[in-house]
Amino acid sequence: MSTAVAPKGLEGIVATTSAICWIDGDAGVLSYRGIDIHELAQFSSFEETTYLLWFGKLPSTAELAEFTGHLSVARELNSKIVDFLRSVPANATPMQVLRTAVSLLSIYDADEADCTHDANVRKSFRLTAQIPMIVALFDRIRKGKSLVEADKSLSHAANFLWMLNGEKPSDTATRAFDIALILHADHELNASTFAARVIAATLADIHSAITGAIGALKGPLHGGANEATMRLLYAIDKAGADPVEYVKQMFAEKKKISGFGHRVYHTEDPRATHLRRMSEELGKAAGNTKWFDLSRKIELFVKQEKKLNANVDFYSASTYTTLGIDIDLFTPIFAISRISGWAAHVIEQHDDNRLIRPRADYTGPAYPATYIPIEKR
C-alpha cells in the first residue's frame, strides 16, 4: 500500500473514472458528456440536459417527448410529504426541510431498496420531479399561502416558478431559470456529488445518497455560497458602504468573499459568464441594475486584488434576487438542478460499484498507548 498522504482536501486527486462530466480548469471548459456548457446553455433545456446526463447522448425528438412526459407524470407528491411540510416549525430553513423531505420520500417509494439500473432511473425521475415541488410548496406553506397544483403541461422550469409564485411565469423568467438549471446540473466530483457516490458505493439506496448530497451542498464553501453572497450584497447595501472599502476590510480581517475562488477553475468559471450576463440583462429588463452593479464592482476589485475569479454562486445571487426569489431558496434551487447530476453519478456508481474506502495517515498518540483505569486518571 502507498504510504504517500493525499494533499489536504484531496486537491488534484483523481478518485474515480466517470463518463459524465469533463472540466478543464485551466482553460475554463465545462462539458456534460463532452458537450460544451456554452452550447447547452444556448440551445438546450433542463429536460434535454438531464436526459444527456442520465443516458449519455442527446435524445431524439420522440425520446425527449417521452422523457419529458415521465418527468411531468412524476409530479405527484405523496400527501404524507405535504403533511410533513405543514408540520415544520416556522423557523425551519428550506434546506433543512428539503434534506428531511427527501429522506422521508424514501419511506413511500416502492423501489426504495432496489439499486438496479432501472429502479434507479425510475427513482431519479421521481426525485427530479418532486424536489422542486417540495421547495415551492414549503415556501407557500410558510408564507400562509394556498398550495398550487403542479401543471403537467408546463416545462420543468416553468412549473417550479408557477408552483412557487402561483402565476404563470413570463417566457423571459422561464428561460432564465431554465438556463440556471442547465448551468448547475453537474460538476464532476464536487463535494456533494462525491458524498453521494461514497454513500451509493456502500450499496445504499439513491434517496440516502441524495439526502447526504443535500447536506453537503448546504455548506457555505459549496452550494450555500449563493445565499452567503446575497447576504454580503445586502449587508453592503444596508450599511450604505463603498463595496471596495467593505471588501478591503474583509480581506484585512482574513475573511473569505463568498462566490469567489474555486478548487478546479484557475480562470473564469464558464457558468459565471452566463450568470453575469443574465444578472445584467434581467436587471435592465426590470429597470433595476443595483445588484448587478454592486456585484460587478466587487468582482473587479477581488480580481484585481487577489486574482480570484467569480464562481457559479456569485452572479446566481443577483440573478435570483432580480427574479424575485427569496434568499433562502437559492441553495434549494441549486439542489433542484443538481439532482440531475447527482442521479447520473449514483446510477453510474451502482452500475459498476466498488466500496469507496480510503485510508487516513494516523497522527494520534503512539500505539500502544496505556489504558488508565478511570479511578486512576
Ligand X SMILES: CC(=O)SCCNC(=O)CCNC(=O)[C@H](O)C(C)(C)COP(=O)(O)OP(=O)(O)OC[C@H]1O[C@@H](n2cnc3c(N)ncnc32)[C@H](O)[C@@H]1OP(=O)(O)O
Ligand Y SMILES: O=C([O-])CC(=O)C(=O)O
Tell whether residue 283 is a contact of ligand X (CB under 6 A): no
Taking CA atoms, 176 is separated from 18, 129, 159, in Å, by 29, 19, 14
- Residue from 128, 190, 319, 322 in contact with ligand Y (CB under 6 A): 190
Chosen from ligand Y, ligand X, none, partner binding at 264 (C-beta under 5 to 8 Å by type)? ligand Y
Tell whether residue 69 is a contact of ligand X (CB under 6 A): no
Q: How many CA atoms lie within 13 A of 150 on its CB side?
A: 20
266 is catalytic: no
Tell whether residue 256 is a contact of ligand Y (CB under 6 A): no
Tell whether residue 9 is a contact of ligand X (CB under 6 A): yes
Termini Cα distance of the chain? 38
Closest among 73, 46, 51 to 62, alpha carbons compared: 51
- Window of 71-79, 232-240, 258-266, 345-353 that interacts with ligand X by CB under 6 A: 258-266
Closest among 123, 99, 98, 101 to 110, alpha carbons compared: 123
Catalytic residue chosen out of the listed positions 184, 187, 262, 350: 262
- Window of 127-135, 152-160, 254-262, 289-297 that interacts with ligand X by CB under 6 A: 254-262
Chosen from ligand Y, ligand X, none, partner binding at 260 (C-beta under 5 to 8 Å by type)? ligand X
Tell whether residue 124 is a contact of ligand X (CB under 6 A): no
Please count the residues of this chain forming the interface with ligand X, following the rule CB under 6 A: 19
Tell whether residue 257 is a contact of ligand X (CB under 6 A): yes
- 296 to 325: interface string for ligand Y, x by CB under 6 A: ---------------xx-------------
Chosen from ligand Y, ligand X, none, partner binding at 256 (C-beta under 5 to 8 Å by type)? ligand X
361 is catalytic: no
**Which three cell numbers mark 194?**
462525491
- Window of 120-128, 158-166, 222-230, 278-286 that interacts with ligand X by CB under 6 A: 222-230
State the amino acid at position 152 in one-letter form.
K
Helical H segments across 108-205, by residue range: 117-142, 156-165, 171-184, 191-200
Tell whether residue 263 is a contact of ligand Y (CB under 6 A): yes
- Residue from 311, 318, 319, 349 in contact with ligand X (CB under 6 A): 311
Q: In terms of residues, how long is the chain?
A: 377
How many angstroms separate the CA atoms of 16 and 194, rounded? 10
Tell whether residue 265 is a contact of ligand X (CB under 6 A): no
Closest among 210, 186, 199, 54 to 127, alpha carbons compared: 210
Catalytic residue chosen out of the listed positions 109, 184, 313, 345: 313
Tell whether residue 225 is a contact of ligand X (CB under 6 A): yes
How many angstroms separate the CA atoms of 243 and 240, rounded? 9
Tell whether residue 313 is a contact of ligand X (CB under 6 A): yes
Tell whether residue 258 is a contact of ligand X (CB under 6 A): yes
How many angstroms separate the CA atoms of 339 and 46, rounded? 11
Tell whether residue 28 is a contact of ligand X (CB under 6 A): no
Closest among 197, 202, 293, 303 to 260, alpha carbons compared: 303
**Cβ of residue 307: shortest distance to ligand X, in angstroms?**
9
CB 309 within 8 A of CB 272: yes
- Residue from 28, 132, 169, 223 in contact with ligand X (CB under 6 A): 223
- Residue from 308, 326, 327, 328 in contact with ligand X (CB under 6 A): 308
How many angstroms separate the CA atoms of 303 and 67, rounded? 42
Cell 447576504 belongs to residue? 231
Helical H segments across 44-78, by residue range: 46-55, 61-73
Name which of 98 and 133 has its Cβ closer to ligand Y.
Answer: 98
Residues from 167 through 196 that contact ligand X (CB under 6 A): 190
Tell whether residue 197 is a contact of ligand Y (CB under 6 A): no
CB 178 within 8 A of CB 331: no
Name which of 106 and 190 has its Cβ closer to ligand Y.
Answer: 190
State the amino acid at position 328 in one-letter form.
D
The helix or strand, by DSSP H or E, that contains position 36, with its residue range, turns out to be strand 35-36
Tell whether residue 221 is a contact of ligand Y (CB under 6 A): no
Handedness of CA 246, 248, 254, 255 (dihedral sign): positive
Name which of 213 and 257 has its Cβ closer to ligand X.
Answer: 257
Residue ranges binding ligand X (CB under 6 A)? 9, 190, 221-223, 225, 256-263, 306, 308, 311-313
